[in-house]
Amino acid sequence: WVNFAPYVKAINELKKKRNAVILGHNYMTPEIYHGVSDFVGDSLQIAMKAQEVDAEVIVQAGVHFMAETTKILCPEKTVLMPDMEAGCSLAESITADGIEEMRAKYPGAPVVTYVNTTADVKAASDICCTSSNALQIVDALDSDTVIMTPDQYLAQNVANQSKKNIVYWPGSCIVHEQYTAQDLKDFREWNPGTRLIAHPECPPDVVAEADFSGSTSGIIKYVTDEKPEKAMLITECSMASNIADELPEVDFVGPCNMCPYMKKISLEKILYVLHTMENKVEVDEAVAEGARLAVQKMIDMSR
Ligand code: 13P
Ligand code: SF4
What domain count does the chain have?
Answer: 3
Predicted confidence (pLDDT) per residue in 180-196, tens digit: 999 999 999 999 999 99
Residue ranges of the chain with pLDDT lower than 70? none
Residue 151 lies in a domain: yes
17 Cα to the center of ligand 2, angstroms: 32
Predicted confidence (pLDDT) per residue in 78-113, tens digit: 999 999 999 999 999 999 999 999 999 999 999 999
- Whether residues 53 and 114 fall in one domain: no
- Whether residues 214 and 246 fall in one domain: yes
- What is the domain-level CATH number for residue 248? 3.40.50.10800
173 Cα to the center of ligand 1, angstroms: 10
| Cβ of 43 less than 6 Å from ligand 1 | yes
pLDDT score recorded for residue 56: 98
Burial 164-197 (b: 16+ CB within 10 A, else e): bebbbbebbbbbbbebebebbeebbeeeeebbbb
* Residue of minimum CA distance from atom 4 in ligand 1: 215
| Cβ of 131 less than 6 Å from ligand 1 | yes
268 Cβ contact list (under 8 Å, min separation 6): 7
Rounded CA-CA distance 148/145 in Å is 10
- Whether residues 189 and 224 fall in one domain: yes
Cα–Cα nearest to 131, from 31, 207, 243, 231:
207
Handedness of CA 257, 80, 57, 288 (dihedral sign): negative
- Whether residues 15 and 52 fall in one domain: yes
- Whether residues 95 and 168 fall in one domain: yes
Residue 302 lies in a domain: no
Residue 299 lies in a domain: no
The answer to whether 149 is a known ligand-binding residue is no
Half-sphere exposure of 222 (CA within 13 A, CB side): 21
* Residue of minimum CA distance from atom 6 in ligand 2: 88
- Whether residues 271 and 206 fall in one domain: no
For the complex shown, is ipTM > 0.90?
Answer: yes
150 Cα to the center of ligand 1, angstroms: 14
Which atom of ligand 1 is nearest the CA belonging to 214?
4
State residue 233 phi and psi, 5-degree precision.
-95, 110
- Whether residues 185 and 166 fall in one domain: no
Half-sphere exposure of 5 (CA within 13 A, CB side): 2
- Whether residues 140 and 210 fall in one domain: no
Residue 229 lies in a domain: yes
- Whether residues 96 and 166 fall in one domain: yes
pLDDT score recorded for residue 221: 98
| Cβ of 113 less than 6 Å from ligand 1 | no
DSSP per residue, 221-242? HHHHHH--SEEEEESBTHHHHH
Which atom of ligand 2 is nearest the CA belonging to 151?
7
Q: Which domain holds residue 198?
A: 181-258
- Whether residues 192 and 166 fall in one domain: no
**In one letter, which amino acid is 279?**
N
- Whether residues 99 and 74 fall in one domain: no
- Whether residues 133 and 196 fall in one domain: no
208 Cβ contact list (under 8 Å, min separation 6): 160, 181
| Cβ of 216 less than 6 Å from ligand 1 | yes
156 Cβ contact list (under 8 Å, min separation 6): 166, 168, 203, 204
Rounded CA-CA distance 264/63 in Å is 9
